[in-house]
Amino acid sequence: TPIEETLVLVKPDGVARNLTGEILRRIEAKGYSLVDIRLVQADRELLAKHYAEHEGKPFYEPLVEFMESGPVVAIRVAGNRVIEGFRSLAGTTDPTTAAPGTIRGDFGRDWGLKVQQNLVHGSDSVESADRELALWFA
């Protein structure tokens, strides 16, 4: 079976709302393994590399500002097809329409909401996961 590793970030809203434990619980309940974990105050340089694919998009600046507004929890997670699997646990990008049962669907706030405040990040491919894990677990 294709055991993969992915980068999960609990974003500043998730940390501030004390949802880190709930998110870890869901990762562990699915049977994935925690390989490494750290609390990080990300700087602009790290975030610019992490979100390089979104540079120039209208939501880029608010996204980076939000991500540097407080600590994030970076987690290296391993498991069978965990890259796709964690994105399934997270739900779709916009919490307003994310399905119930997903992290974003269950906990994403539907008032005063900004789309970047969607609690978690998960790598979207093997290439992204390799690249992002090297950035956050240098």
Active site residues: 121
Instruction: Identify what 38 binds: Mg ion, ligand DAT, none; CB under 5 to 8 Å per kind.
Output: none
Q: Is 44 annotated as a binding residue?
A: no
Instruction: Identify what 69 binds: ligand DAT, Mg ion, none; CB under 5 to 8 Å per kind.
Output: none
| CA separation for the pair 137, 115 (Å, rounded) | 26
- Residue 47 binds ligand DAT, judged by CB under 6 A: no
- Residue 97 binds ligand DAT, judged by CB under 6 A: no
Phi/psi region, residue 31 (left: phi>0; alpha: psi -120 to 50; beta: rest), is left
Residue nearer to Mg ion on the CB measure, 68 or 124: 124
Out of 36, 52, 59, 113, name the contact with ligand DAT by CB under 6 A.
59
Q: How many CB atoms lie within 10 A of CB 10?
A: 26
Residues 6+ apart with CB under 8 A from 119: 10, 11, 13, 14, 19, 23, 90, 95, 103, 104, 107, 108
CA triple 25-102-77, angle to 5 deg: 45
| CA separation for the pair 97, 104 (Å, rounded) | 9
Q: Is 26 annotated as a binding residue?
A: no
Contacts (CB under 5 A) with Mg ion, residues 98-137: 124
Q: Where on the chain is the footprint of Mg ion (CB under 5 A)?
A: 124
Annotated binding site for ATP: 11, 59, 87, 93, 104, 118
Q: Where on the chain is the footprint of ligand DAT (CB under 6 A)?
A: 54, 59, 63, 93, 115-116, 118, 121, 124
